[in-house]
Amino acid sequence: MNGMIPRTPALALACLTIFAWSARAADEPKKPSPDEQYVLGPDSKPQEGVPKGVVTKYVWDQSKIYPGTIHDYWVYVPAQYDGKTPASVFVCQDGTQYNAPVVFDNLIAKKQMPVTIGIFINPGYFPPKDGEPAKNDKGKPSHSNRSVEYDSLGDTYARFLLEEIMPEVAKTCLLSDKPENRCIAGASSGGICAFTVAWERPGQFRKVFTSIGSFTNIRGGNVYPDLVRKADKKPIRVFQQDGSNDIVNQFGSWPQANQAMNAALEEKGYDHKFVVGQGTHNPRHAAAIFPDVMRWMWRDAPGVAQ
């Protein structure tokens, strides 16, 4: 056998080695995800005795800004809305994020934010053609228009909100037309989208929450730090969140891009706050701090407890 281990004993030895390694691996504690430390607090959970708002789903399929698309969206109306006084407005990309309706119930009841109508809108999608699946393997629409709508610079998406979605909501809800009473938010590409809306239309939106924002070179969003430095300061308030373990890929580094945005906003003297955690490209940290974000955002709104 020329000193070689016979095949059968060799195979047995290999199997024994694999079994021993697997047993050790099973005994070793699993390394926790950095996202696990971020949990929802009391303000993000239903509370006994707190009046609950109503969330209603709608579909918008008449867009002239994004022809042929279908947008699902949800409108939150708080229990305290009386239909006579214009309500503040919160717009959020990618539908309901941050457990926002529950947070709004709790904070509005405590007068820590104003009576606010929430508009939670999904990105548009194109209906599938005959024989095509309606959704991909991730359960998302097969023909999504998300990147076009969210990652593109310019005022197209702002026009979509201001000329199409908000007028629809205004048919049933009295919305404030004051820009300081309007907040827009989003995560990832929805985060850069939120900033773009306020940047392009500060006369309409002046409060922005961007979490794990994609200020990278997907569709040119990496230019924002330079744009912020070169442009006159705009009357917008910005809260940023990101994690040190966020994405790094061919489009850039999310942590570095958000740090660059933070530096530019600080240098220009914006009303701005940046919270950095240890999370990945994940909404858990943003959801955990969302009640504090809203308190900070609405801190000087009329009727809000200081």
What is the band of 5 on the pLDDT scale with cuts at 50, 70, 90?
Answer: very low
User: How many beta carbons lie within 10 A of that of residue 113, not counting itself?
Assistant: 26
- What's the pTM value of the predicted model, to 2 decimals? 0.89
DSSP H helical segments within the chain, as ranges? 7-27, 100-109, 146-151, 156-160, 166-169, 189-200, 224-230, 254-267, 284-297
Q: What is the pLDDT of residues 110-163, one digit of tens each?
A: 999 999 999 999 999 999 887 677 777 777 777 999 999 999 999 999 999 999
Among the CATH numbers 3.40.350.10, 3.40.50.1820, 2.60.120.330, 3.30.70.600, which is that of 34-297? 3.40.50.1820
Question: What are the domain boundaries of the chain?
Answer: 34-297
What is the band of 12 on the pLDDT scale with cuts at 50, 70, 90?
Answer: low
**Cβ distance 198 to 208 under 8 Å?**
yes
What is the band of 20 on the pLDDT scale with cuts at 50, 70, 90?
Answer: low
Q: What is the pLDDT of residues 252-298, one digit of tens each?
A: 999 999 999 999 999 999 999 999 999 999 999 999 999 999 999 99
Distance CA 223, CA 217 (A): 8
Distance CA 200, CA 92 (A): 17
Q: Is the pLDDT of residue 18 over 90?
A: no
**Cβ distance 194 to 158 under 8 Å?**
no
Q: Locate 66 and state its tokens.
A: 């994004």
User: CA 164: distance to chain centroid?
Assistant: 21
| Beta bridge partners of residue 276, listed in sequence order | 242
b/e burial code for range 261-289 (CB count within 10 A of at least 16 → b): bbebbeeeebbbbbbbbebbbbbbbbbbb
Distance CA 102, CA 203 (A): 29
Residues 8, 9, 10, CA angle at the centre, nearest 5°? 90
Please give the average per-residue pLDDT across 21-26, as a whole number: 55
Q: Locate 270 and state its tokens.
A: 């914006």
pLDDT for residue 16: 53
CA distances from residue 245 to 84, 248, 256, 262, 277 in whole angstroms, order as listed: 46, 9, 11, 17, 8
**Cβ distance 173 to 211 under 8 Å?**
no
The helix (run of H) or strand (run of E) holding residue 274 is strand 271-277
User: How many beta carbons lie within 10 A of that of residue 124, not counting itself?
Assistant: 24
Q: Is the pLDDT of residue 1 over 50?
A: no
What is the band of 32 on the pLDDT scale with cuts at 50, 70, 90?
Answer: confident
Q: What is the pLDDT of residues 57-101, one digit of tens each?
A: 999 999 999 999 999 999 999 999 999 999 999 999 999 999 999
**Cβ distance 284 to 37 under 8 Å?**
no
Please tell me what DSSP assigns to residue 265.
H
